Amino acid sequence: MRRVSIFGATGSIGENTVDLIARAPEEYDVVALSGGRNVARLAEQAIALNAEIAVTCYSECKQELAARLSGTGIDVGAGPEAIAEAAERPADWVMSAIVGAAGLAPGLAALEQGATLALANKESLVCAGALLMETARAHGAQVLPVDSEHSAVAQALVGEDISSVERVIITASGGAFRDWPLEDLPKATPEQAAKHPNWDMGQRITVDSASMFNKSLELIETREFFGFDPSQIEVVVHPQSLIHALVGFNDGALMAHVGPPDMRHAIGYALHHPERRHLPVERLDLVKIGRLDFREPCERRWPALRLAREVMRSGGVSGAAFNAAKEVALDAFLARQIRFTDMAAVVEEVLEAMERDGALKCDRMRLDHVMETDHLARKRAAEAAEQIATEA
């Protein structure tokens, strides 16, 4: 039996992971499940999968979770520390599917006990890629990408010499506003931004798809995960979301990964790695699809892409500042304090101010420094958002 844990079990990636595990209960011993406010669903999952422990990140939700699990023998925990402790419980395979920088600490804890980390939480790589990959190496643990583009790149690289790679192209659907006139973007509402043309995902990543902050995180994720030079990594808009990424080799070959927009493919690939197993995803009918389109991403529509290039150029802890400022700007947009187009302005202002202060430099990445940078960037982003809101 393989011991598995799922952090962020009640979310979109978490539910898809639970779906795959629940199809073969005889193969898995479920160790820990974590969630947030959706305590009812977390308790249901813990009972269905007979988990050892269920943890909510909110201490005020502990009582309800304990009540729902009373008499089951399942341990209960609450708060970020309890999540990190649950990640220290020995497991062979751990799904990192918390949303945001909160996924970093449990991911590191899982790697420290040698688990294979299936990484959906791209924010950990953006905030602290060097630290995460170094922790994996130091403990002989493996990190497998779950983001569809990065899973596609990893699959195209199997058996290849990485030095023969010339370029990597990750695709972007363009999100909810790819065809909107530019002058309408400031009027876009959170409800409109949260409607993805192809993928069914959590609210935050869906809005990040419309702004391309998601793709900008993924540019940085590609660099941190595979070590490619930023000049080798390209983004192309592909409205059908069927090709997830392409890898170009020095002989001119371009290997594309084609599949339906269903995260169970990338999750299942990471779950069964290095084997391939049957997965319950749609089989594509190429004739029905008929055509695949590609467009150049316009940086006026999606300034986040330019900001990601800045982050890769300046290095240090700028990824942590970028992600934290982005999270705060997204909260401010969702709360209708700032406009859709103000999010990039907030992030840019924070990055510029912190770079001016020398606050983005670091020689050897440490968790406390990453967290300090995260806090500082959040504070600055909140101030910048407040300023924009009062001027409007």
Which CB atom, from 155 or from 373, has the smaller least distance to Mg ion? 155
- Is 147 a known ligand-binding residue? yes
Decide the pairing of beta strands 75-78 and 53-56. parallel
Burial 313-344 (b: 16+ CB within 10 A, else e): ebebbbbbbbbbbbbbbbbbbeeebbbbbbbb
Q: How far apart are CA 248 and CA 378, in angstroms?
A: 38
218 marked among binding-site residues: yes
Residue 150 known to bind ligand: no
CB of 392 to ligand NDP, least distance (A): 28
Q: Which element (helix H / strand E) includes 32?
A: strand 28-35
Residue (89 or 244) nearer to Mg ion, CB: 244
C-alpha 316/C-alpha 127 separation (Å) is 10
* 98 lines the binding site for ligand NDP (CB under 6 A): yes
Taking alpha carbons only, the member of 334, 344, 338 closest to residue 311 is: 344
Asked if residue 175 lies in contact with residue 212, where contact means CB atoms within 8 angstroms, the answer is yes
Q: Is the dihedral of CA 10, 13, 19, 22 positive or negative?
A: negative
Which residue, 166 or 273, has its beta carbon nearer to ligand NDP?
Answer: 273
Q: Which is nearer to ligand NDP, 120 or 312 (CB)?
A: 120
Which is nearer to ligand NDP, 98 or 370 (by Cβ)? 98
Q: Does residue 153 interact with ligand NDP by CB under 6 A?
A: no
Q: Which is nearer to Mg ion, 123 or 147 (CB)?
A: 147
Q: Answer yes or no whether residue 45 interacts with ligand NDP by CB under 6 A.
A: no
Residue, CB closest to ligand NDP: 11
Inter-residue contact 333 to 340 (CB < 8 Å) = yes
Please name which of 234, 233, 228 lies closest in space to residue 129, comparing C-alpha atoms. 228
Q: Which of residues 279-318 bind ligand NDP (CB under 6 A)?
A: none
Binding test (CB under 5 A) with Mg ion, winner from 64, 147, 327, 342: 147
Q: Edge to edge, what strands does the sheet with 233-237 contain?
A: 233-237, 165-172, 243-249, 254-258
Nearest to 95 by CA among 74, 113, 121: 121
103's CB contacts (< 8 A; 6+ apart) are 7, 8, 96, 97, 121, 123, 124
Asked whether residue 196 is marked as a ligand-binding residue, the answer is yes
Say if residue 50 carries a ligand binding annotation: no
Q: Is 148 known as a binding-site position?
A: yes
The helix, strand and coil proportions of the chain, stated in percent and rounded to the nearest 5, come to 50, 15, 35
318 is in an annotated binding site: no
User: How many residues lie near ligand NDP (CB under 6 A)?
Assistant: 28
Residues 6 or more apart whose CB falls under 8 angstroms from that of 71 comprise: none
Rounded least distance, CB 244 to Mg ion, Å:
8
Orientation of helix 367-391 relative to helix 104-112, angle to 10°: 170
Decide: helix, strand or coil at residue 119: strand
Please tell me whether 316 is known to bind a ligand. no
Nearer to ligand NDP, 114 or 202 (CB): 202
Q: Is 10 annotated as a binding residue?
A: yes
Q: Which of 65, 99, 143, 321 contacts ligand NDP by CB under 6 A?
A: 99
- Please answer whether residues 38 and 55 qualify as being in contact, where contact means their C-beta atoms are separated by less than 8 angstroms: no
Residue 84 interaction partner, one of Mg ion, ligand NDP, none, beta carbon < 5-8 Å per kind: none
User: Site residues for ligand NDP, window 330-389 (CB under 6 A)?
Assistant: none
CB of 147 to Mg ion, least distance (A): 4
Interacting positions 193-222 with Mg ion (CB under 5 A): none
Residue in 35, 129, 174, 175 binding ligand NDP, rule: CB under 6 A: 35
Residues near ligand NDP (CB under 6 A) are: 8-14, 35-38, 57, 97-100, 102, 120-123, 147, 199, 201-202, 204-205, 263
Give the annotated binding-site residues for 1-deoxy-D-xylulose 5-phosphate: 122, 148-149, 173, 196, 209, 214-215, 218
Give the annotated binding-site residues for Mn(2+): 147, 149, 218
